[in-house]
């Protein structure tokens, strides 16, 4: 279940310069240093507590997986980290594929390249025709299957690469890219991901790229979600602090955008929860 159905490419996107109220700022350099240290020690502790040495993650060439990789190497050492590069040929951009390969080579980690086109599911054999929405989600779940196949084979943990903005919005596929043993950057809003990536000197060309789930050609997060992360994160932060949509709208944010974000949070909360167990007493 990925997000809401993928929106029209003509969806209006709210621009940063149209918002007059202050937006969520970047953490200070000292705060970024503490965040990095906490993530490193937290990952070290979790891996050790669960009796593992090795981890694996999907490397897309985007900023989230790049930052997750850097933190993981700082925590566990390059020799304990493997990355799977799992593009969809014809959809994933050559730029992203090349960035993923370049990162893996730079950090000298074990890497496996496997286009998902050759391991797809033939739904023509099923007694139903999957919707476009379902087909998009299936791509993400194929990647998850490959990651867990590797993890089971190598006795490794699967690291998630989703950020706090995506998790709160439900902008991800249940049992797809949201499937992981631990979310390394899941407490960082996307704007904080950018700030930490800058602090850790990740390649500028990766930082500057428009973020995309890349489940279909031309897709961008901004088009899917209706606004840049600077705006989305500010609204998410206010909603998480318990402020209502009316109060947030009075700050200068469009009511339609605030309501849409709130509905996404409510409707997709199940994506970040374990399945409930029904009571019998």
Nearest to 80 by CA among 72, 68, 90, 88: 72
Which stretches of the chain drop beneath a pLDDT of 70?
Answer: 1-11, 20
- Sketch out the chain's domains with CATH numbers: 28-219 (3.40.50.620)
pLDDT confidence of residue 11: 59
pLDDT confidence of residue 3: 42
Nearest to 161 by CA among 171, 153, 152, 151: 171
The interaxial angle of helices 29-49 and 63-76, nearest 10 deg, is: 70
Alpha carbons within 13 A on the beta-carbon side of 112: 14
Distance of CA 42 to the CA centre of its chain: 19
SS3 state at 227? coil
Nearest to 152 by CA among 77, 54, 76: 54
pLDDT confidence of residue 10: 46
pLDDT confidence of residue 2: 40
Give the contacts of 203 (CB within 8 A, at least 6 positions apart): 66, 99, 102, 103
């Amino acid at each position: 279940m990925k997000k809401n159905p993928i929106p029209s490419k003509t969806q209006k996107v709210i621009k940063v310069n149209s918002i007059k109220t202050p937006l969520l700022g970047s953490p200070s350099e000292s705060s970024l240093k503490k965040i990095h240290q906490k993530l490193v020690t937290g990952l070290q502790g979790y891996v050790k507590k669960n009796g593992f040495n090795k981890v694996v993650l999907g490397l897309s060439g985007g900023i989230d997986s790049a930052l997750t990789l850097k933190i993981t190497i700082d925590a566990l050492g390059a020799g304990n980290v493997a990355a799977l590069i799992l593009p969809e040929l014809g959809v994933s951009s050559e730029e992203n594929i090349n960035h993923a390969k370049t990162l893996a080579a730079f950090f000298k980690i074990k890497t496996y390249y496997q286009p998902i086109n050759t391991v797809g599911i033939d739904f023509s054999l099923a007694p139903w025709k999957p919707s476009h929405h379902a087909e998009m989600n299936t791509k993400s779940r194929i990647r998850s299957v490959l990651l867990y196949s590797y993890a089971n084979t190598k006795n490794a943990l699967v690291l998630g690469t989703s950020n706090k903005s995506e998790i709160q919005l439900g902008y991800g596929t249940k049992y797809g890219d949201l499937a992981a043993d631990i979310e390394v950057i899941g407490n960082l809003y996307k704007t904080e991901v950018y700030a930490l990536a800058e602090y850790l000197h990740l390649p500028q060309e990766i930082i500057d790229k428009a973020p995309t789930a890349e489940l279909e050609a031309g897709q961008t997060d901004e088009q899917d979600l209706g606004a840049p992360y600077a705006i989305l994160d500010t609204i998410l932060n206010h909603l998480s602090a318990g402020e209502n949509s009316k109060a947030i709208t009075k700050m200068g944010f469009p009511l339609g955008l605030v309501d849409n974000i709130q509905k996404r949070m409510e409707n997709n909360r199940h994506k970040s929860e374990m399945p409930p167990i029904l009571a019998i007493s």
